[in-house]
Amino acid sequence: MASETTLDFDQLLAPISDEAPSGQYLRRSDFERFQRAKDARAEAVNAERKIREFAMYDEDELAALSEQGQGVEVPSSPDWRSVLDQCVDIISHHSKDLWVASWLVEANTRRNGYAGARDAFRLVSKICETYWDGIYPPHDEEDGYLDTVSQLASLNGVEGPGTLIAPLEEIPLLPEYGALTYAAYREATVGGGGGEVTENDFDNAVRQIDLDQLRQQEEDLAEAIEAYKEMTAVLESKCRVEGEEDHTPPSSQIRRTLETIQQAFSNLTRNLLSSNGDAEPEGDGETAATGLTPNAGPKVDLAQAQVNNREDAFRMLMKASEFFRKTEPHSPVSYMLQQTVEFGRMDLPTLLQKLIQDSSVLKNLSERTGIPVKEDEYDDD
């Protein structure tokens, strides 16, 4: 069963008033309220940046800087709760504004993980379906809906990673283990293994988690993907106006990120969330076996050098890749091994889409073999 809803949809989707269901354009009627929400979001993003910068220093470096009178201030935690509260207040009581809705997407994803992203995507869809004729920012005679959806476009990014990519990758892949994010999993499996978290940490931790929690995480992620597809379809239908330039927000980066995370989760849980649904966690239930405790940092646990299954084989290939990277940095062998592991963890449809760039070839292959492929995977969005 998926997580309960994280937003009050009745409140958020209710008309602002009978006379003005969409409310007012705050940038003209109540700019200070709009600016406070915008500033709160900017402050939260800046706090996250400072935390990342602080994490680059080790204890010795911090001590040395302190001795030199250049102590590095410990950054404060980003206040996404405030961002979320202000966005909810504006959308519920003042304005159906898609800029504010896009900030809500960022805040609710950070606060509530995949379920938060799911509900935020659903909210954007419902706002557009219900209030499009009076949506804010309003349609422009020259630029069409360019400004209306510009902040939603920034979530995905146009020429680079969007503002929602990193937050999605930083959601804990395994419930209750804050350090075990998709970003950490990628580093441990195909990024050379230079991070604090090892692939073995993931393999061990997943067996300590209640199966119902894993199933809930699985459903939350699947529902987030479906909600994003629905939101994309709604925006496409609204932004494509005859005689105007199509300003449908790009969507491919978020879609691919979510689907890649889903594949990683499937790799981790394939032996636990099987069709029989009767699997039980392995081990004695002690978290000491993982070197991790819920919501705590990891202790490195070396993987066993035995090859008992395909994941063991992949780990050995990554060790070989790391060996060649250190001893023969000029050689392509390290990168080829990493690519082999990445391909090996993909299902066949995903692998074909990765290897075959020509959509017509993909379509023909699908028709001849029955292998499901997504033709829109190579859209320019």
Residue at 260 is within a domain: yes
Please state the rounded mean pLDDT for residues 148-172: 94
Residue at 375 is within a domain: no
pLDDT per residue over 69-84, tens digit each?
666 666 678 999 999 9
Q: How many CB atoms lie within 10 A of CB 294?
A: 15
Residue at 156 is within a domain: yes
Q: What is the pLDDT of residue 313?
A: 79
Please state the rounded mean pLDDT for residues 186-204: 80
Q: What is the pLDDT of residue 83?
A: 98
- 273 vs 77, more confident: 77
Residue at 134 is within a domain: yes
**Full residue range of the structural domain in which residue 81 is found:** 9-277+286-303
- The residue behind tokens 């995977």 is 377
Q: How many CB atoms lie within 10 A of CB 186?
A: 17
Residue at 43 is within a domain: yes
Highest mean pLDDT among 57-71, 300-314, 338-352 belongs to 338-352
Q: What is the pLDDT of residue 297?
A: 41
Residue at 112 is within a domain: yes
Please state the rounded mean pLDDT for residues 101-105: 98
Q: In Å, what is the CA distance from 26 to each residue of 35, 95, 180?
A: 9, 7, 40
pLDDT per residue over 9-61, tens digit each?
999 999 999 999 999 999 999 999 999 999 999 999 999 988 877 666 666 66
Sequence-ordered list of residues with C-beta below 8 angstroms from that of 191, at least 6 positions apart, any chain:
none
Sequence-ordered list of residues with C-beta below 8 angstroms from that of 131, at least 6 positions apart, any chain:
21, 22, 96
Q: What is the pLDDT of residue 74?
A: 64
Q: In total, how many domains does the chain have?
A: 1
Residue at 340 is within a domain: no
